[in-house]
Amino acid sequence: MILLPCPWCGPRAATEFAHIGEVSARPDPGSATPAQWRGYLYLRANPCGWTRETWYHRAGCRRYITVERHTETNEVRSATPAGMTAVTGTAAGVAEVPRAAAGAAGVPGGQDGARAGGAEIPAGGPAR
């Protein structure tokens, strides 16, 4: 069983979460080619090693988290609210830093919604 550390609810079984996918940069709609859009929507790196993924806590707090997980061992290195970056030395261990400023492309999220696969997901979570 994979345990994911939800920043709000604590460690929970992965069955409580919906796997949204790898964190990837969305291409600029004004200048992206059809091939770039296909790559963004359908192709994933699927590495054997550390990866950053977005998960949705559907059976708990109904929030999005970004998880650094090893795909072979399922070891979790960190879990932060989506749209936030882990910062050592802060009281909660996280600070709100825009992804561009943090040097990584990411998923805007938290209470305002998140992008997954190019579609906007409302703040209340995906439609059921």
- The helix (run of H) or strand (run of E) holding residue 95 is strand 94-95
pLDDT tens for 79-89 read 999 987 554 44
Burial class (CB in 10 A: 0-12, 13-18, 19+), 124: exposed
Euclidean distance between the first and final Cα of the chain, in Å? Answer: 25
Q: Indicate whether 25 belongs to any domain.
A: yes
For residue 39, give its domain range. Answer: 3-80
Q: Amino acid identity of 125? A: G
For residue 125, the model assigns a pLDDT of 55
Calculate the average pLDDT of the chain. 76
User: How many domains is the chain built from?
Assistant: 1
Q: Indicate whether 127 belongs to any domain.
A: no
CB atoms within 10 A of CB 23: 19
Q: Indicate whether 106 belongs to any domain.
A: no
For residue 21, the model assigns a pLDDT of 87
Q: Indicate whether 88 belongs to any domain.
A: no
Q: Indicate whether 68 belongs to any domain.
A: yes
Least confident segment among 53-67, 72-86, 87-101 = 87-101
90 has a pLDDT exceeding 70: no
What is the rounded distance in angstroms from the CA atom of residue 107 to the CA atom of residue 67? 12
Write the CATH number for 73.
3.30.2270.10
